[in-house]
Structure 1
């Protein structure tokens, strides 16, 4: 077997990992004004699309388990971004809703995607194709990983 297969720069996982780290670094100053972390931003993105969502559905959308999601939501609630309440229909369900502060942040965050991609040397068509490919890969990997559980 060739040693080429084990070269770092030939590993897709490394490209994804390093790109994610660099992308997250670019988000940091943009999210400072809102005083939120990148994972909190992702949760807000989901809630701006659909407010009043169950913790389970939010976790599903973010590919996060409740052990990771619950502490983050607790911090967001402490900072008045969201409110968590038990469902009237099913007390086992916890519903997450935006507060006024959380809804108001939507307008402030509207510029983030555009600012993030400024000076990134990828044309819009490549960017859209990359997103489609990565989502296809994410869904496939997630399906395989959940089958193994």
Structure 2
């Protein structure tokens, strides 16, 4: 086992295919759209990267995305996240494993906390985004159920 694959082991609880559901919220916390679809996290051959595929409906819009997670930075304790979506947009975020086993994902103007369940059968996530004043506001509440 290489140092790279050892460093990636904390992602093991999220590896799998997930039924995704949730809500998108406006600035006042009111639901403006439903989220429904699938997320899949799998090891890239060699174990040095996690490949994350997204296929969800967000209201009337279909979202397809591909994300690569890896490149552990031992100094900051973070992992690089590089995402690309079907519209041609792309972005980067950083993942950080918290002491309670949850993950924090943070990028430009957005952040999320993901809580995998101990039995690895479900996960929940709360996304926040920054408003014009720089304050963080709830953006999406998501739930994931493991698919066989």
Structure 1 or 2: larger strand share?
2
Q: TM-score, normalised by structure 2?
A: 0.22
Q: TM-score, normalised by structure 1?
A: 0.22
